[in-house]
Chain A
Amino acid sequence: MKIQINGAFPYGLQMQNLRETHLWYILPDEVKRVALLKQYSELLSPCERENVNRMGGDQLKKRALLARALVRTTIARYQTNCEMNPRSLKFRKNIYGKPEVEWQTEDNFIPPPLHFNISHTSSMIACGVTVNVPIGIDVEEKQRRIKNNVIAFARRYFSPYEVELLTAISDPEIQRQEFIKLWTLKEAYVKALGKGFSAVPFKTFTIRFRPKALRSLPGSPVSEASEIIIDSSDDPSILTNNWQFALLEVAGGHYASICTEKDKSIGGEGTMPMKLTVRKTIPFVEDVCVSGTDAVVALGGIIEQ
């Protein structure tokens, strides 16, 4: 089963040279055709199908199915040699439980240094892909209700600086939104690290925005409203500047955070923008590049779309 995408295939070589980050997402509400869902289910391993079946209820089963289909079809696009059958991909978890591709080592086959991470809410399933550097992503619905008191929640799990920041917001709706943004950023970081949540509890680091003057030329695709930086709570003077973030509002109602390790090999001390391309997909049906459209609004981080 080949992946035929409108135009650009394969992506692999291009990405490697340009150090890009790609975000692919599916909106489950747009996928209803039975035949299509059946096609997706045929991509899954028996184990994955079993996991899908164990989900409670139709919507959760569909979501789990789409998540696996998205991962498989997305990774299959990034092959530099022949067409890759998404069904033949094998996955495993690293020692901390982070999913990764288990490349089949054949003669003369050099596995691409591809990294991926997925996240889903009921209305969006997303997969981020990078070359050479680890990536973590998290998506949440903007309207997501928090059952507990936001500040009580933050006091319990966030760093003191972050609690102070949230407490200072008087509008409860804005406060809730900022809470969710912060949550997705922290999740994305922990997932990028790939060492499990116990390795770096949320309380032990602070994520904050550092405003930057807009230096970009009119019409420039680089948004530099504010840089997102991360400190270790234990010692605030230590800036953990190996990581860069992007915070986006995607497809209207979703916050999406992306965290990637900075690629040291490109050199320079300053922060290179994250070269991000966002695509909405219905695998086997259509892909739409939505970067630069209303579907993607940069809320933070130094991003070039």
Chain B
Amino acid sequence: MASLTGASLNFTSLSSSFNRTQAPLRGISNVNSVSFQSIRMRPGSLRFRVSCAAKPETVNKVCEIVRKQLALPEDSSVTGESKFAALGADSLDTVEIVMGLEEEFGISVEEESAQSITTVQDAADMIEKLIKSRDA
């Protein structure tokens, strides 16, 4: 996609990856089809994590489940910082992800909490909290 900055739009050359994901035009004429080189996302700023944050293994497991649910390509970046919405998840996806997490970790998530998870880290932290109280 052309990168959108405050001042101007930068265009870069054709890329096959963008072509592959395009669905065929539906009977629309006189539209010029252009492809864009995919822009790698700027890495998010590093944040200090307090020690009560989830273990990396938990985060990785969540990433794996998210990838599967959203059918993300292997090379797409999914980290603790990743927001579900930014990965293309809608509310139905989020609920499905939570169900997958419940199954994987043997926990039960309240519906209200399920809808309020917005990042991978949120999910991982919540999982560990639930595991702790389950095993207490």
**B38 interfacial by beta-carbon distance below 8 Å:** yes
A27 touches B34 (CB 8 A): no
Interface string of A283-302 (1 = CB under 8 A from B): 00000000000000000000
**Bound Cα distance A34, B23 (Å):** 17
B1 touches A61 (CB 8 A): yes
B4 touches A57 (CB 8 A): no
**Bound Cα distance A153, B96 (Å):** 8
| Interface-located stretch among A5-13, A77-85, A198-206, A259-267 | A198-206
B2 touches A38 (CB 8 A): yes
**Bound Cα distance A27, B91 (Å):** 20
Contacts of B41 in A (CB 8 A): 53-54, 56
Given contacts A34-B11, A59-B21, contact A148 B99 (CB under 8 A): yes
Interface positions of A from 40 to 89, Cβ below 8 Å from B? 41, 44, 46, 49, 52-63, 65
Closest-by-CB residue of B relative to A286 is: B28
Contacts of A29 in B (CB 8 A): 22-26
Smallest CB–CB gap between B49 and chain A, Å? 20
Interface string of A16-37 (1 = CB under 8 A from B): 0000000000010110111001
Smallest CB–CB gap between B36 and chain A, Å? 6
**Bound Cα distance A177, B115 (Å):** 22
Most chain B beta-carbon neighbours within 10 Å: one of A38, A63, A147, A203: A147
Residue among B25, B26, B34 making CB contact with A34, cutoff 8 Å: B34
Most chain B beta-carbon neighbours within 10 Å: one of A38, A152, A153, A197: A197
Smallest CB–CB gap between B1 and chain A, Å? 4
Interface string of B30-71 (1 = CB under 8 A from A): 011110101101000000000000000000000000001100
B31 touches A153 (CB 8 A): no
How many inter-chain contacts with C-beta < 8 Å in the A-B complex? Answer: 104
**A156 interfacial by beta-carbon distance below 8 Å:** yes
A58 touches B18 (CB 8 A): yes
B2 touches A34 (CB 8 A): yes
A55 touches B86 (CB 8 A): yes
Residue among B32, B69, B91 making CB contact with A187, cutoff 8 Å: B91
Contacts of B25 in A (CB 8 A): 29-30, 32
Residue among A52, A57, A147 making CB contact with B100, cutoff 8 Å: A147
Contacts of A56 in B (CB 8 A): 41, 72, 76-77, 82, 86-88
Residue among A33, A34, A57, A152 making CB contact with B38, cutoff 8 Å: A57
Contacts of B9 in A (CB 8 A): 38, 41
**Bound Cα distance A33, B33 (Å):** 6
Q: Mark A residues whose CB is within 8 Å of B.
A: 27, 29-30, 32-34, 37-38, 41, 44, 46, 49, 52-63, 65, 120-123, 140, 144, 146-148, 152-153, 156-157, 183, 187, 197-198, 201-203
A-B contact pairs, 9 of them (CB 8 A): A34-B2, A34-B11, A38-B9, A53-B4, A55-B88, A140-B92, A146-B96, A147-B68, A148-B100
20 additional A-B residue pairs with CB within 8 Å, beyond A32-B25, A37-B2, A63-B88: A29-B25, A32-B31, A33-B32, A41-B2, A41-B4, A41-B9, A49-B5, A49-B6, A56-B77, A58-B38, A58-B39, A60-B87, A147-B68, A148-B96, A148-B100, A153-B99, A187-B91, A198-B112, A198-B115, A201-B112
10 closest A-B pairs by CB: A198-B112, A197-B115, A58-B1, A61-B1, A201-B111, A29-B23, A41-B4, A49-B4, A34-B34, A60-B88
